Chain A
Amino acid sequence: MDRVPILKVGDVLLVSIQTDLQDRTALALQEDLAERIVRTGARGVVIDITAVEIVDSFIGRMFAGIAAMSRLLDARTVVVGMRPAVAITLVELGLSLGGVQTALDLETGLRLLGADSLEEGPRRCGTADDRRARDPDRLQ
């Protein structure tokens, strides 16, 4: 079974869905994310669905589930990059994605999560050790 890779950028976990998800892959992603949030102390999760061509009620429910689960683990979830055709279809389907925050693109999504450690990126130019030393602060 394929697994969706989860990247860590600052204190945010980034998931970019690149294929039409099998149900089992979607469920595995939910579990992997819960585990990674706890392990890394991430404050936010960004799910990029720019490449996703359809969202049916199962996949929509998975997003809502990830958002609810991450809230319980003290992280916020933003779904970014929804295609116009997907948005139109979701409305007609009657799926509200209740509780899931959305943003037009990755940049806006990261800003919504207050991931300012990323915006400060260019100013952080110390050695790798300096950055590691700063990391624990950022995660608090």
Chain B
Amino acid sequence: MTDVHEIRIDSSDDIVQIRKVVRTVAGDIRMSLVDQTKLVTAASELARNIVGYGGGGTVRIERLTGPSGVPGVRMVFEDSGPGIPDVELALTDGWSSGQGLGLGLPGARRLVDEFDLQTAAGRGTRVTVTKWTR
């Protein structure tokens, strides 16, 4: 079953809508309440990064089935902003180039099962995260 949602992220007003969709998709595959909360929180942090640093972008939210038949949720956050000059630094707790607490990326990474970050100077950033039911 494919179930894909694409949502534009232009301002912080879009973040509430994203949280709602992620919650619904995670609930549909009977993800535990704690894992749902972690996934929705990760989505909120990553969407906030796009508003704050990426100059707007999109998120693609889809449900998928893992190799052993376990359902999960994948989210792809994409922007065409300035990119992240030092990925290792950006993944360090407490480091922030803006007004945030510097928890967005490292925090979101801890809340999901798989985390992939692709970025290129001047071309944007793509963060892909996946969480499986257990």
Binding site for B on A (CB under 8 A): 20-24, 53-58, 61, 83-86, 88-89, 92-95
Q: Kindly report which residue of chain A lies nearest to residue B38, judged by CB atoms.
A: A89
| Size bracket, chain B contacts | 20 to 34
* B10-35, CB < 8 A from A: 12-13, 15-16, 19-20, 23, 33-34
> In the assembly, what is the distance between CA of A55 and CA of B41, in Å?
7
Q: Interface code B44-62, partner A: CB below 8 Å = 1, 0 otherwise?
A: 1100100000000000000
Binding site for A on B (CB under 8 A): 12-13, 15-16, 19-20, 23, 33-34, 36-38, 40-41, 44-45, 48, 93, 100-101, 103-104, 106-107, 110-111
Find out whether the CB atom of B103 lies under 8 angstroms from the CB atom of A85: no
State whether A92 and B110 are in contact (beta carbons under 8 Å apart), knowing that A56-B41, A61-B101 are contacts in the complex.
Answer: yes
Enumerate 6 A-B pairs (CB-CB under 8 Å) in ascending A order. Answer: A56-B45, A57-B100, A89-B41, A94-B103, A94-B107, A95-B103
Could you say which residues of chain B place their CB within 8 Å of the CB of A23? 12-13, 15
Find out whether the CB atom of B12 lies under 8 angstroms from the CB atom of A57: no
Which of B12, B20, B36, B93 sits near A94, CB closer than 8 Å? B93
Which of A57, A58, A85, A95 sits near B34, CB closer than 8 Å? A85
Could you say which residues of chain A place their CB within 8 Å of the CB of B41? 54-56, 89, 93
State whether A20 and B13 are in contact (beta carbons under 8 Å apart), knowing that A57-B104, A95-B103, A95-B107 are contacts in the complex.
Answer: no
Name 17 extra pairs, CB < 8 A, besides A55-B41, A88-B37, A93-B45. Answer: A22-B15, A22-B16, A23-B13, A23-B15, A53-B23, A53-B37, A56-B41, A56-B44, A56-B45, A57-B100, A84-B34, A85-B33, A86-B37, A89-B38, A89-B111, A94-B107, A95-B107
Could you say which residues of chain B place their CB within 8 Å of the CB of A57? 45, 48, 100-101, 103-104, 107
Top 9 nearest A-B pairs (CB, nearest first) are A85-B37, A93-B107, A56-B44, A23-B12, A85-B34, A57-B103, A89-B37, A54-B40, A89-B41
Find out whether the CB atom of B36 lies under 8 angstroms from the CB atom of A85: yes
